[in-house]
Amino acid sequence: MSKLTPVVWPKVILFGDSITQYSFQPHGWGAEIANKLARKCDVVNRGLSGYNSRWGRMVLPRLLSQSSAERVAAVTLFFGANDSSLEDKNPQQHVPLQEYCENLKDMGRFLSSAGVPSDRLIFITPPPVDEPAWEKECLLKGCPLNRRHAAAGQYAEACVRAAGQVGADVLDLWTLMQQDGRDFRPFLSDGLHLSQDGNQFLAQQLWRLLEGRVADLPFILPYWGDVDHASPESSLLCDL
C-alpha cells in the first residue's frame, strides 16, 4: 500500500483549573463545544484541578510546544478561581492580583511565540462566588470561607485588562452571569464550580467567540453519502 497522507485535525485547547477539567463531564461546557466541533476539530481538555495561574504558567511550555501548536484554531485560558482565594485562609492557592495579571500575559505571550496568534486566544474570567453556598463546602472540609465574591470580581477585571494588553479576546464570565441584575446563584453547583445551567451558559457565551474562528474549517473526511461506493479509495484516500 502506498504511503497515505495522515489526517490531522485542528485543535481547540482548553487550559485552566478545575472548571476546565470538569468541563467534559455530562452536560459540561467543554463537552458541548466538542460536540459542536465534531468532524472539524479535536477539543483538548488541559484542565488541572486546583491549579492557579502561577502553576499554569510554569507547566504550559510542557503542554504545548511549537511543533504541537500547528493547526491550533483556538486556546482558552481560564484561571482565577483559585488565584483569588484569600491569602490568609488559603495561601497555597492564592496568587496576588498583579502577579495573576502578569501570569496571564506571560501565558499569552508564550502561546504567541509558540505559533498561536493572539487573535486565537480567549481569556475567561473567574465566575462570581456564592459565598453562603461555598462556605458550607468549606465547613464540610474543616476550613473557613476562603473565597469572596468581591475578590473574584477584582481578578475578573485583571483578566480583562491582561487580555486587552496581549490582544486576546475575553469572556467576562463574572460580569455576564450578573448582567442586568441576573441572579447568578443557579449557575453554580457549590458556590464556586459550575452547575448544569452554568455549564450551558458558558458554552453558549464561548461559542459566540469561537464560531467565527472555526466557521471556515472543513468537515473532515467525506460525508458518507458522498463516498463513491464503487471506488471508495478515490474518496477516502485522496489528499484533503
For residue 183, indicate whether it is catalytic. no
From 17, 18, 23, 112, the catalytic residue = 18
For residue 231, indicate whether it is catalytic. no
CB-based burial label for 7 (10 Å; 0-12, 13-18, 19+) = exposed
All 3 cell numbers of residue 169? 479576546
| C-beta atoms surrounding 223 within 10 Å | 9
Measured between alpha carbons, how far is residue 215 from residues 82, 191, 208, 226 in Å?
33, 35, 11, 21
Secondary structure tally for the chain: helices H, strands E:
9, 5
Order of strands, sheet of 121-124, starting from the edge strand that comes earlier in the sequence: 42-47, 11-16, 72-78, 121-124, 169-171
From 53, 83, 169, 193, the catalytic residue = 193
From 27, 190, 195, 235, the catalytic residue = 190
Taking the alpha carbons at both ends of the chain, their separation in whole angstroms is 18
For residue 18, indicate whether it is catalytic. yes
All 3 cell numbers of residue 93? 492557592
Active site residues: 18, 190, 193
